[in-house]
Amino acid sequence: MITCEGLVKIYRASGIEVFALQGLDLRVAQGEMVAIVGNSGSGKSTLLNILGGLDHPSAGSAQVADWDLTKLTDRQRDAYRRRVAGFVWQNSGLNLIPYLSAQENLLLAMQIAGVKPDQAEARRLLDLVGVGDRQAALPSQMSGGEQQRVAVAVALAHKPPLLLADEPTGALDASSGQMVLEALQRVNGELGTTILLVTHDMGVAALAGRSVRIRDGKVSTEALRGEGEMVILDTAGRLQVPRKILDAAGIGRRATVTLRGRTVLLRSPDENPSTR
């Protein structure tokens, strides 16, 4: 569903270049629910903006289904957003029109996407995310968690195969956030929608089938639910070893690499092999 290779994004401001993504590689299968985790400034929101058709990559490749995001014209990019990607923002005020009810927000989203407004489908989506009883309510009459679940339904109104959620529980309490995550899991399980969920909360990431950690604009590690964390090699054979492991091994900026059978040994250059 998603293939990124050597993805680079450079922002320029006042003559200064900032690398938000530095050769990121990522593959996501159709129907996966993947959490993208990382510290502020690691590049995770930039990745979501590129995959959502909201930003242009500077270099590398980014493909979603049959769409090459590096070659889209403005008209094609608009079509991509209408057909392929749904987006849920952290701030619920960006997701919903305040003077429309929950159902009216969905019907408008359908109309904008060129889909015939369907009240029965709108009700079905609201039921799926657990707010079917709030279809006539305005956003101001809902809790923050209810607003976010309606926002998930709105993002699905045009039946996109890909749903992108940028910190959708970041402004919610634990209980409301849990209900939003459960709604996303139902969407993933019942509709088969591919979901990329950006978060800094490892508790949230643990609910996804796979979590991918981005550090310094690259994928550094990933973990499958119920399994340990794995270091990821990019297409050039580079890997990012967690700092805590390097510190524990006494490795600074340089290390020696030795192949022994099918095992790769990494150690400090001044380490005496006889003491290992």
Instruction: Tell me the pLDDT band of 239, cut-offs 50, 70 and 90.
Output: low
Domain ranges of the chain: 2-234, 241-276
Question: Judging by DSSP bridges, how do beta strands 16-28 and 210-215 pair with one another?
Answer: unpaired
Q: What is the pLDDT, as a whole number, of residue 232?
A: 54
Q: Grade residue 233 by pLDDT with cuts at 50, 70 and 90.
A: low
Residue 237: which pLDDT band, with cuts at 50, 70 and 90? low
Q: Which CATH class is domain 2-234?
A: alpha beta
- Asked if residues 101 and 154 have their Cβ atoms less than 8 Å apart, the reply is no
**pLDDT on residue 181:** 94
**Average pLDDT value for residue range 11-24:** 89
Pick from 23-37, 107-121, 214-228: least confident:
214-228
- The per-residue pLDDT for 101 is 97
* Mean pLDDT in residue range 165-172: 90
Q: How far apart are CA 72 and CA 12, in angstroms?
A: 21
Average pLDDT across the chain, whole number: 87
Tell which wins on pLDDT, 168 or 261.
168
pLDDT in tens, 35-81: 999 888 889 999 999 999 999 999 999 999 999 999 999 999 999 99
Nearest Cα neighbor of 150 from 168, 167, 166 is: 168
- Judged against a pLDDT cut of 60, whether residue 235 lies above it is answered with no
For residues 89 and 95, the answer to whether their CB atoms sit within 8 Å is yes
Which tens digit of pLDDT belongs to each residue from 183-200? 999 999 999 999 999 988
The pLDDT assigned to 227 comes to: 59
Helix axes 102-112, 119-128, angle to 10 degrees: 120
